[in-house]
Chains A and B, each alone.
Chain A
Amino acid sequence: MDSAQFKHQVLSLSDKLFRLAKSILRNNDAAQDAVQELSLKLWEKRNQLDEVENLPAFAMRSMRNLCLDTIRQNRDKDEIPSEIIYDEPNPYQRTESNDMAARVKNMIEHLPELQRTIIRMRDVEGLEISEIAYITNLTGNAVTVNLSRARQKIREQIMNEHKRVEERIWRT
């Protein structure tokens, strides 16, 4: 693979890779560093990339593995929080994310890593179940189960949120 092909096939995936890295690492700078690191690694292996059947899926899988390695390495240093449990937003958060779309993003952000990654790969990136299975190293069925759980949780939280808003309105 020459530099023009690399630019066309790999660097064009930067935004997708960045979104995936950001979803896992929950940090813009760390995600950017991860994308740059992966791009460099792929460039070093560019002669072998011609053998890869599905380059975008391969790059996404490599990105996820790299991000998970980063989390493992930083776990002891507590630089990146491993998991955050979703709580009802406090008044500050309410004013911060007034619109519901921002709150939904916040809900996705608080899903476990695997569910968060899978729901984003499917609903944001529009990947096939088989591609997600390859990237996450899971079976298609396991991907579907995790996707369903993620969507159900979001639905449940959206409905609870609306219920709370309605109750508050009727109380006042």
Chain B
Amino acid sequence: MADMNELLEKYFKGETSLQEENLLKMYFRSGKVKVEHEIFISMFDAFEEESQVVMPAPKRKVIDLKQPKLKRIGWQSISISGIAATVLLAFWFFRTEPVDADYAVIHGKRINNAAYAQQMAIAKMEKVNGILVKTMKPMQNIQKIKNSLEPINKISDVRIDLENIQDKLNFK
């Protein structure tokens, strides 16, 4: 054990090799440590315990650090799209109409000349009037026939009056 004292002294001076230090570790783990060396068992135990420390499982924090970045990009793009849509809608609602609103469409063509448009409208109306007159002619004939049939309708009234008179006479 004299060697162990020397080795310990060398150890505390920082002059031992790794092999010598392994010998010391084995000695203090052996359970056959001399009384004067017992106070150092805890020191070698501490080193042994420290060497068993492992890194805990990776933290979720790392994953979470990346996610907000993705979320932020998502919200940003949604916000930008929303703003763009609002601007477009506002533009569509409040867009300015052309000032020359007085025009006519003839045969699918836009006519800005008012006199020409008026002339065309009168011609169309006359044409419509002619059609109406032609269409009403048979109706007028029907009315004439109806008027000529008026006396015949009165015959039935006379007949009813005669029947009434006859009834009254029979009663008496």
Q: Which residues of A contact B (CB under 8 A)?
A: 14-15, 17-19, 22, 28-29, 31-33, 35-36, 99-105, 108, 120, 122-126, 128, 144-148, 151-152, 154-155, 158-159, 162
Contact = CB atoms under 8 A, between A and B. Distances in A.
A20 to B, nearest CB: 11
A43 to B, nearest CB: 13
Contact of B43 (A31, A122, A154): A154
B35 to A, nearest CB: 12
23 contacts: A17-B55, A18-B55, A19-B53, A22-B53, A32-B58, A35-B55, A36-B58, A36-B59, A101-B42, A101-B45, A104-B42, A105-B49, A105-B50, A122-B21, A123-B21, A123-B47, A125-B51, A144-B14, A146-B14, A147-B14, A148-B14, A158-B40, A158-B43
A155 B12 contact: yes
Nearest to A127: B18
Interface SS majority for chain B: helix
Interface of B: 11-15, 18, 21, 39-43, 45-47, 49-51, 53-56, 58-59, 62
Contacts, number: 78
B12 A151 contact: yes
Contacts of B50: 19, 105, 108, 120, 124
A5 to B, nearest CB: 20
B18 A151 contact: no
B44 to A, nearest CB: 8
A158 B39 contact: yes
